[in-house]
Copies of this chain bind each other. A is one copy, B any other.
Amino acid sequence: MEATHEVICGLDAPCHAFSAKQSSAAPTWTPKNGRQKKKTSGASLSGVDVAKEVDFPSWYQQVLLKGEMIDYYDISGCYILRPGSWEIWEILHEWFNREIRKMGVRNCSFPLFVTEDMLNKEQNHIDGFSAEVAWVTQSGSSKLDKKIAIRPTSETIIYPYLASWIKSWRELPLRLNQWNSVVRWEFKNPQPFLRSREFYWQEGHTSHLSCQGADQEVLQILDLYSCLYHDFLAIPVVPGRKTEKEKFAGADYTTTVEAYIPATGRAIQGATSHGLGQNFSKMFNITVEAPCEGQSEERTKKTFLWQNSWAYSTRVLGVMVMVHGDDKGLVIPPRVAPAQVILVPVGITASTTEDVKQSLVEAMADTRETLQDADIRVESDLREEYSPGWKFNHWELKGVPLRLEIGPKELQTGCASYARRDNGDKGSISFASLAAQVAEQLASIQSDMYTRALEKFRDNLKIITNWADFTPAINCKHLCLVPFCLKEDCEDKIKKMSEGTLDPGSEHDARAPSMGAKSLCIPFQQPSDLKGTNTACLREGCERMAEKWCMFGRSY
């Protein structure tokens, strides 16, 4: 098995929309064994009581519930997004909205409902969704004349109207976006954020005069999605193109950013940006009279528009939790944390004088104000019925990036004590330069979280050139870059052949799922150019030449 650390497939490529300063400091990473021991004592009853590495599904459930991100709901596959998760969503929303506005995207809102006729208009498209559509058939106690679908996505809701709105090629590109929820009534095992019957997203729908204009935007948006993961969620992603088999139903092509969950060794599709070509514009007759290329503006011809659609969903929150969370609970990257700093008063004993208590109250208030003035999101926990230790656990469970402790000792020394959530580092910060030093700590936490996630992804991304090495690598929780013919039947066979294959001699992990490996994407940044190299497709039995390096792995 061949592996290299140089293969990064755009993993740590800089984003264009936002330039984050990456710290070069070496990350401190608790060794795996140290993290596996179960919580034994001293912790609150409400803490996470299962290790991430031991029982990942239960761990995920517990951190979400006990960390107060979600609650389960009366209807299977639907979840309550509590403020702890929704406010992260809002921070991302605000940034993304600002970025797309700069591109000329305008927000709007189309109805939740769609008629059966409209939904069925694009056949490939509806084939991808029909089994999951929820239907309204009744209002009050009356049966509706015609059943009405709840949108699984909005292409067929929006596009009929574009035909009447777009009157001239000069109004192009027309870029619309909406923030909403969509419903896909899946019966597979539901999971909060990753697979839910109702989920939240933004869906962008744009129309262009030229194929080039549309193609350019597909990548511009994908770059924003990379930034969202990279700069906000501190998660590396591999940008690439989906194979024909995995592309969006009705699209010409789909681009994606793929993330990696180290604990399960599975990849996850992070967000997608689709080039729809003229498929929908031909179906819905979305045309303009456009000037013929290279001719004077007087000579025009009817042109079907080139369309894109693109979306990221609340799934991003699930990826964030899975990548960063640890045995103490959530670990939220500072840039998206609703509370970046938690202030906890400490060191108060029976012998603490009223004067000192009063100074402490004032110091807490001053600190809070100083940080707020510096646009740092800060909370203080002044509850008297809980001990400092209880509070430490509580806020660690909720993933607050930085804890500041202030007590009589801190008042004397003029320095607050701090503890970092991500690596447990402790130290002190002078009250005199509080805001600047806290901001520095937060930046360092953000950057270290990214660096650690990047190392884990890089260590588990393997170049595989012999079929014999493929399934063992997949079973070792790796993602594999392989030379691939790109054909759908070959992809099906690879999936089949890598299913539940327990190689006795391998480092196979009994907890790994036994599903087959899927193609994740054809990374834009290829390890090498396979054209003309006469490299065979990886799969045993495939007699075709490889077209591209393709990333395969078990996947959510």
Q: Does A526 contact B (CB under 8 A)?
A: no
A108 touches B82 (CB 8 A): yes
B134 touches A109 (CB 8 A): no
Do A71 and B161 form a contact, CB below 8 Å, given A83-B176, A87-B106? yes
Name the distance in Å between A9's Cβ and chain B's nearest Cβ: 34
Interface centre among A113, A114, A141 (most CB of B within 10 A): A113
A73-81, A230-238, A271-279: which lies at the interface? A73-81
Name the distance in Å between A273's Cβ and chain B's nearest Cβ: 21
Complex Cα spacing A113 to B198, Å? 9
Q: Does A130 contact B (CB under 8 A)?
A: yes
B139 touches A136 (CB 8 A): no
A140 touches B133 (CB 8 A): yes
A90 touches B113 (CB 8 A): no
**Given the complex, which residues of B lie within 8 Å of A180, measured CB to CB?**
181
The chain B residue with its CB closest to the CB of A161 is B71
Complex Cα spacing A148 to B81, Å? 20
Residues of A whose CB lies within 8 Å of any CB of B are: 71, 73-75, 78-83, 86-87, 89-90, 106-115, 118, 130-141, 147-148, 150, 160-161, 164-165, 168, 170, 176, 180-181, 183, 185, 198, 200, 383, 385
- With A71-B161, A109-B200, A135-B137 already in contact, 8 other A-B pairs whose C-beta atoms are closer than 8 Å: A78-B113, A81-B108, A83-B108, A87-B107, A89-B109, A90-B107, A112-B198, A135-B136
A115 touches B200 (CB 8 A): no
Name the distance in Å between A510's Cβ and chain B's nearest Cβ: 35
Complex Cα spacing A205 to B86, Å? 16
**Given the complex, which residues of B lie within 8 Å of A107, measured CB to CB?**
83, 86-87, 90
Complex Cα spacing A160 to B73, Å? 10
Name the distance in Å between A232's Cβ and chain B's nearest Cβ: 18
**Given the complex, which residues of B lie within 8 Å of A108, measured CB to CB?**
80-83, 86
Complex Cα spacing A79 to B108, Å? 11
Complex Cα spacing A135 to B183, Å? 14
